Amino acid sequence: MKKKPSRTASPGSPSERWPTVAVAGGEFERADEAAKYVFGQTRLRPKIALVLGSGLGAFADEFEDAVKIPYATIPHFPQSTAIGHAGKLVIGKVDGIPVAGMQGRVHLYEGYSPKEIVFPIRVFARMGVKALILTNAAGGIKREFTQGRLVVISDHINLQGANPLVGPNDERFGPRFSDMSYAYDRRFREMTVGEGNRMGLGVSEGVYAALSGPSFETPAEIRYLRGIGADLVGMSTVPEVITACHCGIRVLGISCVTNAAAGILDQPLKHEEVLETGERVKGQFISLLKAVLPGIAESIAAIGDSGVFGGVS
Ligand code: HPA
């Protein structure tokens, strides 16, 4: 596991397992520094951000009037090591709507701390983002969630053994105990299912279980997950959702079912299959995102900017 020079916690503490610069505090100031840097690269002030999972980064290549900012140049931003993640923040417009698109994210399985994983979400909060669209690849547990289906996440089960809000709470981001009753915005969910069905994509809703990975699940684990109410399984998204809720950002989550979960079909799981299915469904996924953006923009239009970095207060 990599070591960071400014790590401050004592050996044996949780942050020893997940070496991080974030545990000592100052996260708010770091997020402001990153937001300031991003605002220095573009005149656009997006209110909607998208996290584009494996393969879906291509959507951000379609943004108009775009500026592409490598994660490596943004202060304190984590760098993705996952295949298929370009590692750029693209600020541009989709049909005239300003958006910020992350081409790839970092995961717990790469060795990043929960706080590092969610740093970009906190930067979005400081940029004044009000709606976050999270996309991912997932294994289908529910039988009808076959390869290639797009599923709107209705709720989640966090089995990652980690929560990004553990540690001192900075009230400037949000409250100590944040409500997760409506983590996935109902209006956004309805709009996306509606648009998806209008487009003939057969989009429905499901509960996403997040595990740390990187190994795929065992068939017994999938039977267990089905028993506790999970319809989909994956290795991302949940830390970002928890953080967005904490910061008051409304969330839409959409999974692309890239494979039947372990044990459902009598065949081994391969990452290549995940990438191939993602590639095959990419066009539909992008069309669905484009279809829901105007409705999302409209539903957040009335929310003000007070307290945001560089915002009107
Ligand atoms: N399990 C966990 N994560 C995944 C899967 C899976 O089957 N498919 C895509 N991401």
pLDDT of residue 3: 36
Helix 27-39, helix 114-127: angle, nearest 10? 50
Residue ranges with strand state E in 141-287: 150-158, 204-210, 232-234, 250-260
pLDDT of residue 153: 98
- 8 Å CB contact between 252 and 192: yes
| Cα 125 off chain centre by | 13
DSSP readout, 110-167?
Answer: GT--HHHHHHHHHHHHHHT--EEEEEEEEEE-STT--TT-EEEEEEEEE-SS--TT-S
∠ Cα 207 210 213 (to 5°): 145
112 is an active site residue: no
The catalytic position among 15, 31, 80, 107 is 107
| Domains assigned to the chain | 25-301 (3.40.50.1580)
Distance 71 CA to ligand 1 centre (A): 25
pLDDT of residue 279: 87
Report which residue type is found at 21. V
- CB neighbours (10 Å) of residue 272? 9
Residue of minimum CA distance from atom 7 in ligand 1: 139
pLDDT of residue 307: 56
- CB neighbours (10 Å) of residue 44? 17
pLDDT of residue 80: 74
Distance 98 CA to ligand 1 centre (A): 31
Comparing C-alpha atoms, which of 131, 138, 77, 147 is closest to residue 106? 77
User: From the first residue on, what is the mean pLDDT of each consecutive set of 10 residues in the chain (313 residues)?
Assistant: 34 39 69 96 97 89 96 91 77 97 93 95 97 97 96 98 95 95 96 96 96 96 98 97 97 96 92 88 95 96 65 40
Residues β-bridged to residue 99:
48, 92
> In sequence order, what are the residues at sequence separation of 6 or more whose Cβ sits closer than 8 angstroms to the Cβ of residue 125?
31, 173, 244, 247, 248, 249
